[in-house]
């Protein structure tokens, strides 16, 4: 079972991922000027400053197995996987042309990279699991395993629910908590801190972890707190810090343990409860929770998962001082102190704590110097030092040494030359909120003035879809509009007269509105198509020129008379 990993980081450093690091035999010359690094489960990815993405993976045995024709040959030395990459997010890569890709990696022995797969076009930002596209719409990454291909994980995207889309922005921070359960997850709860400091939550709520005061699941975002700067969530509970340094927590965490219903110490608080003051960072683990105060002291509360290391406690207790960052999992963790020394505690069955033993560390112990970043994963640890070197300890097969690092449970250097390109915080690029303004232009349809309910959004005119179909019904460019609720799809059929449903042509809208990207599929004549569309107060509005191009009717602009001209007697001519 993989450990659960969460972290507090108080300074931006090299981007490190989660889980076990794979074998590495490259020299500094092979992979210098690394801008970001990701360690997957027995494979690793490195993005260089020149935009090339490199990967290497565990060659599980010397004999190996035949590589299918579309596989990149497995290597314990780095192999170039992609060019023109500007950022990586786990095994997701965003390229310079704003295309989004995933790198499928089989999990059989030996581990191999499959050919990268394109997920989407026109992606401007990735904040896992959300993807933001150039039209401002929000999409969610959806993963699945290709069971026929060594359980490689691949991704697709789907539009988020309209209620969620209205909440999201490019300058948000996101947290997710897995529902408590064994074997399979009991569900997810989601948390978003908006730029205005409001905390919103929704999802699985069996333990009150959403914070609404009940244990009923929450389908749409609900505001939980104001003036929030950060949030963390895990295992049926969550915690948030406010702008004045107050720490609040809720869910199955405020008793002596996160626990289970079978544990007599188990308790639920389904509304936020104040824990303490003067806090600047917090991380929720599955049973023990940690926070750093403004004086750089590290504290915890909870327990149960590592009770031999820290006694269970419902009140917070101090561990030690002068801490700059901490990363923890379900069996312990690491803290980097202000002098860059690395301290460890907790479970250590594979020597992953790097202290030279395979036994649990009962009290925090110094294990390395000159450390600026650390990651922990599947019984392994990788650290980045101030000189740009990467070191590893634990259950990591290392082809360069031809041995398992468990034979020597201390940190061993496996590459130099990591260029620290992300040592300062770059403010997020914000996407201005979309505004729909009532269209002021006159609209002529086949020479007649028609008062449409239409809006101008970002310089383009959007018309209510059913109004267009209603007015064009009976012409040579008529089309039908219907709704397929089972598939969340708007169905368009060319050449058919429109069937009224009520509410068509109810007059022009008044006042500015907030448009929400439509999350429904659009099916035209049996095929899924892509249109830019927005939902405004329950109605779908489509870009007029998109509809004109799809059904081949004329759309022109008469600037002298501030008039939009729709002519069904002629075909569509692009601008």
pLDDT in tens, 400-455: 333 344 446 888 887 676 655 433 333 333 444 578 888 888 999 999 999 888 88
The mean per-residue pLDDT over the stretch 237-247 comes to 90
416 three-class SS: coil
Neighbours of 402 (CB within 10 A): 9
Rounded Cα distance, 484 and 249, in Å:
42
The class (CATH top level) of 162-321 is mainly beta
pLDDT at residue 338 is higher than 70: yes
The vertex-131 CA angle with 129 and 136, nearest 5°, equals 145
Contact 105, 58 (CB under 8 A): no
Query: How confident is residue 547, by pLDDT bands cut at 50, 70 and 90?
Result: very high
Q: What is the mean pLDDT of the chain?
A: 75
The mean per-residue pLDDT over the stretch 108-132 comes to 81
- pTM listed for this prediction: 0.60
Two tokens at 324?
């700059």
77 three-class SS: coil
Per DSSP, which regions of 40-160 are E strands?
43-48, 53-57, 71-72, 79-82, 85-89, 92-95, 100-102, 113-114, 117-120, 123-127, 130-133, 138-146, 152-159
pLDDT at residue 360 is higher than 80: yes
Two tokens at 36?
């970001």
Rounded Cα distance, 154 and 116, in Å:
9
> H-helix or E-strand containing 465?
helix 465-472
Contact 197, 243 (CB under 8 A): yes
Rounded Cα distance, 144 and 117, in Å:
13
pLDDT at residue 6 is higher than 60: no
The structural domains of the chain, with segments of one domain joined by +, span: 1-160+339-425, 162-321, 436-567
Two tokens at 504?
């068509």
Contact 391, 409 (CB under 8 A): no
pLDDT at residue 82 is higher than 60: yes
Q: What pLDDT does residue 30 have?
A: 53
pLDDT at residue 120 is higher than 70: yes
Percent of the chain clearing pLDDT 70 (strictly above): 71
Choice between 60 and 569, residue whose per-residue pLDDT is larger: 569
Q: What pLDDT does residue 110 have?
A: 63
Rounded Cα distance, 553 and 531, in Å:
16
Query: pLDDT tens across 156-204, in order?
Result: 888 776 666 666 655 555 555 543 322 222 347 888 888 778 888 888 8
**Backbone phi, then psi, for 322, in 5-degree steps?**
60, 45
> H-helix or E-strand containing 251?
strand 247-251
């Amino acid at each position: 079972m993989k450990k659960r990993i969460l972290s507090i980081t108080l300074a931006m450093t090299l981007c490190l991922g989660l889980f076990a690091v794979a074998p590495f035999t490259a020299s500094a010359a092979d992979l210098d000027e690394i801008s970001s690094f990701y360690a997957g489960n027995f494979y690793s990815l490195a993005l260089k400053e020149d935009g090339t993405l490199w990967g290497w993976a565990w060659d599980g045995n010397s004999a190996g197995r035949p590589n299918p024709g579309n596989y990149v040959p497995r290597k314990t030395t780095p192999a170039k996987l992609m060019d023109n990459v500007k950022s990586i997010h786990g095994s997701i890569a965003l390229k310079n042309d704003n295309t989004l890709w995933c790198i499928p990696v089989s999990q059989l022995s030996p581990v191999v990279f499959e050919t990268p797969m394109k997920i989407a076009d026109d992606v401007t930002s990735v904040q896992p699991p959300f993807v933001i596209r150039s039209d401002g719409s929000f999409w969610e990454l959806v993963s699945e395993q290709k069971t026929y291909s060594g359980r490689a994980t691949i991704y697709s995207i789907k539009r988020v629910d309209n209620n969620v889309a209205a909440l999201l922005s490019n300058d948000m921070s996101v947290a997710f908590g897995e529902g408590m359960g064994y074997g399979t997850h009991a569900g997810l709860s989601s948390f978003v801190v908006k730029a205005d400091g409001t905390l919103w939550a929704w999802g699985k709520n069996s333990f009150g972890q959403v914070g609404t005061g009940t244990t009923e699941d929450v389908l749409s975002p609900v505001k939980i707190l104001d003036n929030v700067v950060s949030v963390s969530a895990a295992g049926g509970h969550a915690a948030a810090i406010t702008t004045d340094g107050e720490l609040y927590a809720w869910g199955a965490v405020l008793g002596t343990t996160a626990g289970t219903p079978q544990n007599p110490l188990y308790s639920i608080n389904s509304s936020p409860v104040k824990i303490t003051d003067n806090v600047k960072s917090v991380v929720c683990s599955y049973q023990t929770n940690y926070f750093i105060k403004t004086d750089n002291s590290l504290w915890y509360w909870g327990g149960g998962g590592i009770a031999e290391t820290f006694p269970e406690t419902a009140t917070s207790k101090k561990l030690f001082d002068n801490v700059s960052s901490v990363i923890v999992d379900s069996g312990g963790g690491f803290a980097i102190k202000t002098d860059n020394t690395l301290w460890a505690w907790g479970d250590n069955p594979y020597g992953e704590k790097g202290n030279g033993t395979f036994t649990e560390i009962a009290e925090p112990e110094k294990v390395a110097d000159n450390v600026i970043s650390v990651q922990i994963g599947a019984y392994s640890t990788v650290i980045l030092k101030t000189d740009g070197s990467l070191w590893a300890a634990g259950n990591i097969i290392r082809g360069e040494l031809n041995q398992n690092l468990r034979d020597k449970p201390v940190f061993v250097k496996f590459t130099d030359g990591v260029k620290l390109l992300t040592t300062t915080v770059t403010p997020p690029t914000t996407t201005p909120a979309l505004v729909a303004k009532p269209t002021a232009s006159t609209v002529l349809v086949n020479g007649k003035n028609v008062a449409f309910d239409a809006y101008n959004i970002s310089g383009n005119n959007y018309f209510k879809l059913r109004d267009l179909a209603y007015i064009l019904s009976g012409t040579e460019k008529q089309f039908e509009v219907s709704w397929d609720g089972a598939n969340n799809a708007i169905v368009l059929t060319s050449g058919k007269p429109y069937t009224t449903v009520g509410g068509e042509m109810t007059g022009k809208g008044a006042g500015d509105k907030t448009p929400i990207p439509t999350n429904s599929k659009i099916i035209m004549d049996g095929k899924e198509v892509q249109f830019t569309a927005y939902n405004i107060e329950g109605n779908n509005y489509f870009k007029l020129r998109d509809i004109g191009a799809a059904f081949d009717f004329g759309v022109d602009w008469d600037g002298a008379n501030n008039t939009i001209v729709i002519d069904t007697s002629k075909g569509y001519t692009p601008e």
